[in-house]
Amino acid sequence: MSQTKNFNLPDLGEGLPDATIVEWFVKEGDVIKLDEPLVSMETAKAVVEVPSPFSGKVLKLSGAAGDIIPTGSVLASFELDPNLPQRADGQDTGHSHGHAAPAAAPTPPPLPAAAAPVAAEEAKPAAAERDDAGTVVGAMQSSNAVHAEQALAVGGVKAVPAVRAMARKLGVDLSRVAVTGTDGAVTMADVKQAAANGTAKLGAAPAPVAAAAYAAPAPAQVSAPVQSEARTPLSAAGKPMRTQPPGVVAKGQPEPLKGVRRNMARVMADAHSKVVPTTLNDDADIHAWLPGNDVTARLVRSIVVAAQKVPAMNAWFDGEALTRTLHAQVDIGIAVDTDDGLFVPALRNADMLDARGIREGVNRLREQVESRSIAASELSGYTISLSNFGMFAGRYATPVVVPPCVAIVGAGRARHQMTPVMGGVEAHKVIPLSVTFDHRAATGGEAARFLRAMMDDLALAS
């Protein structure tokens, strides 16, 4: 009699509670061999290809693309094939199962996928590159475990998991993309270019026919467009109704947070419950700047100078043990805003970098974040954070301090203001600064001296 085995979702990071299915590489009834690609999963850190732990027939797949699977829950069931190689009992699979639920505990069902298919999400046009990407909120906790991505051929198309995930999100058919990568692998740039050109839309021609052929509840599907056409900005009582702005797709159904955005929600809530935040605001006068100054490089340099003068702000704090760790080096977490959520990669040893080194480092981190190729180890371990939200809008903010860090700096949108000088007033350009710190670990005086040191360094001509 054939033996049946269940495969529980392993911990794909460091204590991650769940992961989202991106793409199955098999279907129920298929025969798969040991270590062949089984499924692509998205976590808060990366898109990871999970290999099959068994050789045999796939009996059941627990969930579809977009479903959230709790760590330790059954991911797939197999009927083992004794004629194919199997992994010996106790042999390492490369992933930890330490967070799996006990056998006696009921398996929680996967959360439902969003009502609208991923392919329907609007792809943003390829606009001019931003110098940086920032956001008002704090940082992301992350694992130090690095998952190496390999471009594997699935369905005749060679691409790494992150590229497949992006193609699915943008509604791009990988088999129709013009390939420029080495060894015939589709790159992230190939997918974005295809999305911008509209040359490889997923199911462009046959999609309507296929949808009609498999549509079971015909009356319900026919009635939806009629209701949409009959919409009016007036309510039944004749009063104006609040509507979505142009270009916003109203799905009307709760949508579970996934991947990076899901972890961001957990991290922000945890930080809010633990930190005692206090924020100081002031303006840095940059009237003396010579042409060619890089705003981000100057902000980073001013944080380094201030951290060296006030080490209490460049520190970690353990609220349970009531201990703090002062750091000699300055590793700055640079907040990078993406459609998928917030990433905070670490600019290591910023105290050793000149302006050019800072710019190159920030550009490298941003490119790796956007391509989802950044190592998980680069998303943790920074000693203080910077959120340059002013590149979008906003003057002052209360950025979130995420433990174990003690402080985060927010830079608002630069503006001109009238400044009193000897004999009158002048229009000076200023950068609004906000410094949020954990008042359990630093005093108001320390935070004020830190902010003063930043302002003094930013006031220099170069």
- pLDDT per position as a tens digit, 294-311: 999 999 999 999 999 999
Best CA proximity match to 41, nearest among 120, 101, 107, 95? 95
Q: Are 188 and 163 in contact (CB under 8 A)?
A: yes
Assign 128 a pLDDT band (cuts: 50, 70, 90).
Answer: very low
User: Rounded distance, CA 449 to CA 30, Å?
Assistant: 65
Bridge partner residues of 57 (DSSP)? 31, 79
Task: Tell me the C-alpha distance between 436 and 391, whole Å.
Answer: 19
Give 178's DSSP letter. P
Q: What six digits make up the tokens of 390? A: 């002013």
On the question of pLDDT at 105 being above 60, the answer is: no
What's the number of CA atoms in the CB half-sphere (13 Å) around residue 65?
15
Instruction: Using pLDDT thresholds of 50, 70 and 90, give the confidence band for residue 434.
Output: very high
**Among 65, 61, 21, 49, which Cα is nearest to 153's?**
49
> Scanning the structure block, which residue is given the tokens 């009992």?
89
Residue 144 has pLDDT above 80, yes or no: no
Among the listed residues 391, 361, 360, the one whose alpha carbon sits nearest the alpha carbon of residue 378: 361
Q: Where are the alpha helices (DSSP H) in 159-279?
A: 161-170, 188-197, 207-214, 218-229, 259-274
Burial of 193 (0-12, 13-18, 19+ CB in 10 A): middle
Q: 208 or 38: whose pLDDT is higher?
A: 38
Residue 205 has pLDDT above 80, yes or no: no
Instruction: Considering only residues 128 and 300, tell me which one the structure prediction assigns the higher pLDDT.
Output: 300
CA angle 371, 182, 49 (to 5 degrees): 50
Max Cα-Cα span within the chain:
97
Q: How far apart are CA 298 and CA 408, in angstroms?
A: 16
Query: Which of 388, 288, 262 minimizes the C-alpha distance to 332?
Result: 388
Burial class (CB in 10 A: 0-12, 13-18, 19+), 320: exposed
What confidence tens digit (pLDDT) does each residue in 213-268 have? 344 444 444 444 444 455 655 555 555 544 445 455 556 678 888 888 888 898 99
User: What burial letters (b/e) apply to 120-144, b meaning 16+ CB within 10 Å?
Assistant: eeebeeeeeeeebbbbbbbbbbbbe
Residue 31 dihedral angles phi and psi, to the nearest 5°: -105, 130
Percent of the chain scoring above 90 in pLDDT: 47
pLDDT at position 208: 45
Residue range 75-88, pLDDT digits in tens: 999 999 988 988 87
Does a cis peptide bond (omega within 30 degrees of 0) precede residue 404? Answer: yes
Q: What is the pLDDT of residue 453?
A: 98
Q: Is the pLDDT of residue 285 over 90?
A: yes
84 DSSP assignment? S
pLDDT at 150 (0 to 100)? 56
pLDDT score for 210: 41
Could you tell me which residues are beta bridge partners of residue 409?
Answer: 386, 435
Q: Which residue has the higher pLDDT, 51 or 117?
A: 51
pLDDT (0 to 100) of residue 444: 97
Strands (E), 232-358: 277-285, 315-318, 323-326, 332-334, 336-338, 341-343, 346-347
pTM for the model: 0.62
pLDDT digits (tens, 9 = 90+) for 378-424: 888 999 999 999 999 999 999 999 999 999 999 999 999 999 988 89
pLDDT-derived band of residue 359, with 50, 70 and 90 as boundaries? very high
Tell whether the model's pLDDT for residue 95 goes beyond 70: no
Cβ–Cβ under 8 Å, residues 380 and 329: no
Q: What is the Rg, in whole angstroms, of the alpha carbon atoms belonging to the chain?
A: 26
Interval 447-459 mean pLDDT: 98
